[in-house]
Structures are given as structure tokens and as C-alpha cells.
């Protein structure tokens, strides 16, 4: 995890914790660095809860040290962590929930210890997990999770909003995110196709060629959240859906990737379809200030910078 401190405390009076430094957390940190923060890396174990509790106590102590030395009046928490994915078991998602609740407990302690400090919590959630199989998701749509992963996201959202001592709570429900992440990052369809097609490796397809998805670039997500964290926190509680608003089939994605790389993709279709349901979002859900890059443009950009 990362702690971001102001490079010039006289100009910025905000601390930022980022839990989960992967496909989205890392580029958020990079955008915040451009805005005047410096990065401090801290250890946090996800498997040993006793060690984790000790490390979270250390984080509280680190906040105390920084506050004593600087004029800090705002603490921002970003939860972009999570090893669980669409196919995770109930046991795996239950373990992830335990870590999330432990972080919420720590944030509440900080909130109560520093009553003059504004605290805001930004959580990344999942459109696919909550609305799997639904088309044209809009403000009237209701979450209906079909897997343990979706239930995890619902329980995390509910747990966050139940914490009354955390003044500002922001949830971002994301569609299928693609982009370049650090080693060990879980890859979705677009990123996997790009890598495998470039390397002439086989990509396993677990949906139908006609299956529809909504794809967004991790750089767009990171920029939007970083800006909101710094400048646009107006509401005490909000849920926003970050989507392109344009459904794309798996066949379309393959065609774009092949065109961008100039190479033919090698595909193997899995007989047991475990991820074939459509998930599409109405453009009406796009929040103010959210300007997603088109799928083709983003893929061409990634190919050019690879």
C-alpha cells in the first residue's frame, strides 16, 4: 500500500492512503504525484490477519507522526485492493471482506482520534459483479449479484455506508477495466488479447463472440478519481458508475486488437461458458466530468506505447 504526503505542506494539507497498488491504484498514485504528492511505500499483509492488525496500528502511528509535523486537515482513503475476481470462491471473497472491514475499523479510529480532520473514503466497486446479465443498466436498475464476487462488492458497499463516523463516502462502480498494470496484476479480456496477440500466444475465450461488455481504460479511471479526490468532493455520499456507455462484443474487441497490432489473434474457445452473459450500461449514468476514451483509440495508444 502507499501513503502519499504533500511535497509542499504549506500548499497541500491532505494525506492519501491507497490500498491496492494495481491496475488502478498505481496510476492514481502517479496522477497524485503530478499534483504535488510524494509517495511512501508501506507494508500490509493480506493473508496473516494478526500481522495485518499490527501493520494497521503502524499506519495509525505514521499518520500521527505526519500530523504532528505538518498542517494536515484532510485524510483520503482509496480502496482499490482485491485479489478476488469473477470466478473467486465464497471462501476467497470472505477473506477479502475481513481485510476490508479491518481497514474500515482503522479509518474509524483515525476519524475519532482527529475530530477536526475531514476524512473521505473512495471505494472501487464492480458493475459486472453487481449487475451481471443485465443490459442498459441505468438509475432504475437494481444490483442482483450472481456470484460470490458480486456479493462481496455489495457487502463492501453496505459496510462502508454503514460507518457513520466516516464523513464522506464515495463508491465508483466500474465496468471492465483494461490497461497496463504492474507485474502480478489480474488482466481482463482486452489486456490479455493485446499481450497474447502481440506475443503470438493463444488467448482462451470463456464467453461467446457476441457477448457484450462495456470497456474503460484504467488511465481514464485513475485521472477521474485523482481529480475528485483533490478538488471535487462535494457530496457526503455518492455512488457513481464509470462506463463507456457503448457495448462492444468480444468479436469487435478481437478485430480492434488485430488491427492495432497488425497480427492475427490465436483463440481457443472454452467449452464450458462461465462468462457469457451480457453486461451493458446506459450512457445516462455517466457522471459530470467523466470523459472516457473510445475503445479503439485507447487500444491504439496502448499499442503505440508498448
Q: Do residues 77 and 107 lie in contact, with contact meaning Cβ atoms separated by under 8 Å?
A: yes
- Residues 71-90 have a mean pLDDT of 92
pLDDT of 184 reads 61
267 DSSP β-pair partners = 203
Q: What distance lies between CA 2 and its chain's CA centroid? A: 15
Q: Do residues 257 and 265 lie in contact, with contact meaning Cβ atoms separated by under 8 Å?
A: yes
Q: Do residues 99 and 56 lie in contact, with contact meaning Cβ atoms separated by under 8 Å?
A: no
Domain ranges of the chain: 2-305
Question: Percent of the chain at pLDDT above 70?
Answer: 97
Kindly list the strands in the beta sheet with 168-174, ordered across the sheet, starting from the edge strand earlier in the chain: 37-41, 2-6, 14-19, 74-79, 118-126, 168-174, 237-242
Lowest mean pLDDT among 171-175, 180-184, 294-298: 180-184
CA distance 154 to 161: 11
pLDDT of 183 reads 63
pLDDT of 272 reads 73
pLDDT of 68 reads 84
Q: Do residues 79 and 24 lie in contact, with contact meaning Cβ atoms separated by under 8 Å?
A: no
pLDDT of 229 reads 93
Q: Do residues 65 and 34 lie in contact, with contact meaning Cβ atoms separated by under 8 Å?
A: no
Reference 3, options 112, 93, 110, 124; nearest CA is 110
Kindly report, residue by residue over 25-75, the tens digit of the pLDDT: 999 999 999 999 999 999 999 989 999 999 999 999 999 999 888 889 999
pLDDT of 151 reads 98
CA-CA-CA-CA dihedral for 175, 226, 24, 123, to nearest 10? -60
DSSP string, the chain: -EEEEESSTTT--EEEEEE--STTHHHHHHHHHHTTEEEEE----SS-HHHHHHHHHHHHHHHHHHHHHS---EEEEEE------TT--HHHHHHHHHHHHHHHHHHHHHHHH-TTSEEEEEEEEEHHHHHTT-SSB-TT------SHHHHHHHHHHHHHHH-TT--EEEEEEE-EEES---TT----HHHHHHHHHHTT-EEEE-S-TT-EE-EEEHHHHHHHHHHHHHH----SEEEEEE--S--EEHHHHHHHHHHHHTSPPEEEE-SS-SS-----B-GGGPPTT--PPPHHHHHHHHHHH-
CB neighbours of residue 33 within 10 Å: 14
- Residues 130-149 have a mean pLDDT of 97
Q: Is the pLDDT of residue 233 over 80?
A: no
Residue owning grid cell 483520503? 76
Fold of 2-305: Rossmann fold (3.40.50)
Q: Do residues 105 and 166 lie in contact, with contact meaning Cβ atoms separated by under 8 Å?
A: no
Kindly report, residue by residue over 177-205, the tens digit of the pLDDT: 999 877 666 678 899 999 999 999 999 88
Lowest mean pLDDT among 192-196, 278-282, 295-299: 192-196
Lowest mean pLDDT among 61-75, 141-155, 199-213, 223-237: 223-237
For the chain, the average pLDDT equals 93
pLDDT of 92 reads 95
Q: Is the pLDDT of residue 306 over 80?
A: no
pLDDT of 123 reads 98
Amino acid at each position: 500500500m502507499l501513503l502519499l504526503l504533500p511535497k509542499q505542506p504549506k500548499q497541500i494539507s491532505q494525506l492519501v492512503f491507497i490500498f491496492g497498488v494495481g491496475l488502478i491504484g498505481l496510476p492514481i498514485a502517479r496522477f497524485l504525484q503530478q499534483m504535488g504528492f510524494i509517495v511512501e511505500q508501506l507494508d500490509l499483509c493480506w493473508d496473516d490477519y494478526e500481522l495485518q492488525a499490527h501493520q494497521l496500528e503502524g499506519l495509525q502511528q505514521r499518520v500521527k507522526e505526519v500530523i504532528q509535523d505538518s498542517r494536515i486537515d484532510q485524510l483520503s482513503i482509496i480502496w482499490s485492493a482485491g485479489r478476488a475476481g469473477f470466478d473467486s470462491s465464497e471462501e476467497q471473497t470472505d477473506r477479502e471482506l475481513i481485510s476490508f472491514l479491518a481497514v474500515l475499523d482503522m479509518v474509524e479510529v483515525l476519524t475519532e482520534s482527529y475530530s477536526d480532520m475531514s476524512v473521505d473514503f473512495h471505494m472501487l466497486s464492480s458493475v459486472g459483479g453487481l449487475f451481471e446479465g443485465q443490459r442498459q443498466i441505468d438509475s432504475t436498475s437494481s444490483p442482483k449479484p450472481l456470484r460470490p464476487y458480486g456479493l462481496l462488492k455489495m457487502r463492501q458497499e453496505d459496510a462502508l455506508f454503514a460507518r457513520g463516523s466516516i464523513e464522506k463516502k464515495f463508491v465508483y462502480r466500474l465496468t471492465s477495466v483494461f490497461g497496463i498494470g504492474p507485474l502480478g496484476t489480474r488482466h481482463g479480456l482486452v489486456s490479455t488479447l493485446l499481450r497474447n496477440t502481440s506475443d503470438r500466444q493463444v488467448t482462451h475465450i470463456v464467453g461467446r463472440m457476441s457477448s457484450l461488455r462495456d470497456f474503460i481504460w484504467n488511465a481514464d479511471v485513475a485521472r477521474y478519481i485523482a481529480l475528485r479526490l483533490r478538488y471535487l468532493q462535494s457530496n457526503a455520499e455518492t455512488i457513481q458508475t464509470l462506463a463507456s456507455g457503448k457495448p462492444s462484443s468480444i468479436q469487435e474487441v478481437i478485430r480492434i486488437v488485430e488491427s492495432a497490432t497488425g497480427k492475427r489473434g490465436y483463440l481457443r474457445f472454452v467449452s464450458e461458458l462461465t462468462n457469457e452473459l451480457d453486461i451493458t450500461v446506459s450512457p445516462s449514468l455517466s457522471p459530470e466530468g467523466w470523459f472516457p476514451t473510445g475503445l479503439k483509440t485507447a487500444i491504439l495508444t496502448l499499442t503505440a506505447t508498448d
